[in-house]
Structure formats: structure tokens, C-alpha cells
């Protein structure tokens, strides 16, 4: 269980650190080709989502690694899973059902990480 958690947590942390960092630091024009949904989303909200993704990435790894409040890893995994539910809703309402594959994969990985964190922590 420990190894499975760490594998998923590190993979998710790398993904969300990258995606969140882009949302926090890039302009709408630079995000648009990869994230079409930013065209109708206020940039402050895009930045908040990016910040939450960065916090979630840190929360998956740092608390269990340091032993300080490891239950935060469970909260981080749950929060990142909820972000993907929101992403799926956005894509479906925009008629972009064909692009939700990544969201579904991240949702599943997040849910498994929640389960592993619940068992382990």
C-alpha cells in the first residue's frame, strides 16, 4: 500500500505542479492552445485553480514525507479529485466530451490515492 500510494502521489504531484504552475504564471493567450476553457473563464479563477493544484501537489507529498499532519495528504488527494469533477463538468457543458479522457484518468487516480491514503494514514 505504501509503494502504491507513493507511486500515484508522486505522479499526480508532478502533473499538478506542472499544470498548476502554468495556470499561475502564463497569460490567457499562452494557455488557450492547450486549455481552451480559459477563453470564458476569468483569469483570477484560472489562477486560483492553478494555486489549488500547486497546493494539492505539495500536499500529496510533503505531509507524509515529513510526518507532519499526514492527514493533509488525504485532503489534498480529495481536493484534486474534486477539481477533476469540475473539469469534467466544464468540458461537458462546452460540448467537449471527446477531451475528458485525461480528466477521467486523473479522477480515477485521485480516487485511488484517496483510498490508499485512507488505508495508510
Entry pTM? 0.94
8-state DSSP, 33? T
CA 86: distance to chain centroid? 11
For 25, how many CA atoms within 13 A lie in the half-sphere containing its CB?
Answer: 7
Angle (CA) 19-59-43 rounded to 5° is 35
Predicted confidence band at 121 (pLDDT cuts at 50, 70, 90)?
confident
Residue 34 C-alpha cell reads as: 492547450
pLDDT in tens, 51-68: 999 999 999 999 999 999
CA 117: distance to chain centroid? 16
Q: What is the pLDDT of residue 113?
A: 97
Q: CB of 109 within 8 A of CB of 11?
A: yes
- In this structure, the chain runs to a length of 121
Average pLDDT, stretch 87-91?
96
For 87, how many CA atoms within 13 A lie in the half-sphere containing its CB?
Answer: 23
pLDDT in tens, 13-55: 999 999 999 999 999 999 999 999 999 999 999 999 999 999 9
Q: CB of 97 within 8 A of CB of 110?
A: no
d(CA 64, CA 109): 18
Phi and psi at residue 34, to the nearest 5°: -100, -25
Amino acid at each position: 500500500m505504501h509503494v502504491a500510494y507513493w507511486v500515484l502521489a508522486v505522479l499526480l504531484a508532478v502533473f499538478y505542479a506542472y499544470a498548476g504552475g502554468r495556470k499561475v504564471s502564463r497569460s490567457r493567450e499562452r494557455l488557450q492552445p492547450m486549455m481552451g476553457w480559459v477563453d470564458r473563464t476569468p483569469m483570477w479563477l484560472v489562477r486560483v485553480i492553478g494555486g489549488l493544484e500547486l497546493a494539492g501537489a505539495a500536499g500529496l507529498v510533503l505531509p507524509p514525507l515529513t510526518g507532519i499532519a499526514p492527514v493533509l495528504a488525504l485532503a489534498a488527494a480529495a481536493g484534486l479529485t474534486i477539481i477533476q469533477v469540475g473539469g469534467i463538468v466544464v468540458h461537458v457543458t462546452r460540448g467537449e466530451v471527446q477531451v475528458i479522457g485525461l480528466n477521467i484518468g486523473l479522477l480515477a487516480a485521485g480516487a485511488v490515492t484517496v483510498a490508499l491514503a485512507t488505508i495508510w494514514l
